[in-house]
Structure formats: structure tokens, C-alpha cells
A and B are shown apart, each in its own frame.
Chain A
């Protein structure tokens, strides 16, 4: 396996990792907001 191929694989892995962490944070944020909204609606 050539060094270029290895570097390309690593780039793909890093990009996917960054995207996954970003989306995971977004999901956590949304989960918090949804629970806040449902609590507000439940309290009414």
C-alpha cells in the first residue's frame, strides 16, 4: 500500500470523525431543546 493511499485514508477518517463529532454535538443540543420544549408543554 502506497503512502499516498494511506494519507488519503487518514484524511477520510479525520473528516468523518470531525463530521461525526459535529453532528453529535448538534444532536445533543437538539435533545436538550426538545426536552425543554416538552417540559414547557407538559407544565402548561
Chain B
């Protein structure tokens, strides 16, 4: 067999395998979107410094209900993105938070109660995203740590959640 043909066969096999791998990867991301993550699973991920997780909190900044808004109680390191609405990201610390949102990072969306509708809306803006099952309510009920107050960017890089 001539070297050109042999090389061509190898390249074709590699290309086919790469296409199959990419399609499986895409399918995995799509399935992940349908699988909500529990508060305990998220806590474990956040506790592992090797895993990079971006937490996006889509609740309003303040709220008078039991769960509260972003400033009342949130997962440590969560970035505010009220209702996933870009038009709301123009005031105060939201401008800085918007700059830190990375659409290509593994992201967990936190709403009040894990509302699938708001998750669907936000999921379009991120490539690798999961919903927090039960939202902030589940996080609080599990007795996991939270923080409050205005968003302050981390001093040494980093983007998302940290404990």
C-alpha cells in the first residue's frame, strides 16, 4: 500500500473517532442539563479545589420571603445574575459581576426553588450547565453554609463558588 493511502486511512479513522467523541460529548452536556444537581452534591464539588464551578444566582437581589434574595443569603462565591436578564446588569456591583461570568465554565444555576422555567432560560447562555434541585431553599434546608451582603469580587482571580 502506498504511504499516501495508508496515511489517508489513518487520518480518516482518527477523524471519524473524533467526530463520534465530540457527538457523545455534546450529548453528555445535553443530558447533564436535564439532570439537576442536589445541594449535597454541589457542596461536595465546591469543597474540592480541583473542580471549577461557577455558581449563578438568578434570584432578585433582595426579597421579603423566607428564602430571601441574593443579598440576604447565597451560596458562598455565587455571582448575581437576576432573572438571567442582561438589562439588569448595568448598576452597581452587577457590572463587575457580569464581567466575571464565564459562559464556558461548568455552571450551576441557583433559583429560589429550582424552577425549571428560569433554568431553561438561563441554560441557553451557558455551554455546561446544571440546575440546583430545590434551589436556594434546598441549600438552606440542608443547613449548608451561606453568605450575605453585596457581591465582592475575589481578590486572587477565581470566578465562581468557593467555600
Interface residues contributed by chain B, number (CB under 8 Å): 19
By secondary structure, the B interface counts as helix
Knowing A20-B21, A33-B35, A34-B34 touch, does A27 contact B27 (C-beta < 8 A)? Answer: yes
Q: Within 8 Å of chain A (Cβ to Cβ): is B124?
A: no
Contact for B17 among A20, A26, A34, CB less than 8 A: A20
- Closest Cβ of chain B to A40, distance in Å, is 11
Write the chain B residue with the least CB distance to A25.
B24
Docked complex Cα distance between A11 and B91 (Å): 53
Chain A residues close to B by CB (< 8 Å): 1, 5-6, 9, 12-13, 16-17, 19-20, 23-24, 26-27, 30-31, 33-34, 37
Q: Within 8 Å of chain A (Cβ to Cβ): is B13?
A: yes
Contact for B24 among A9, A27, A34, CB less than 8 A: A27
Report yes or no: B31 in contact with A31, Cβ–Cβ below 8 A.
yes
Docked complex Cα distance between A31 and B27 (Å): 10
- Closest Cβ of chain B to A2, distance in Å, is 9
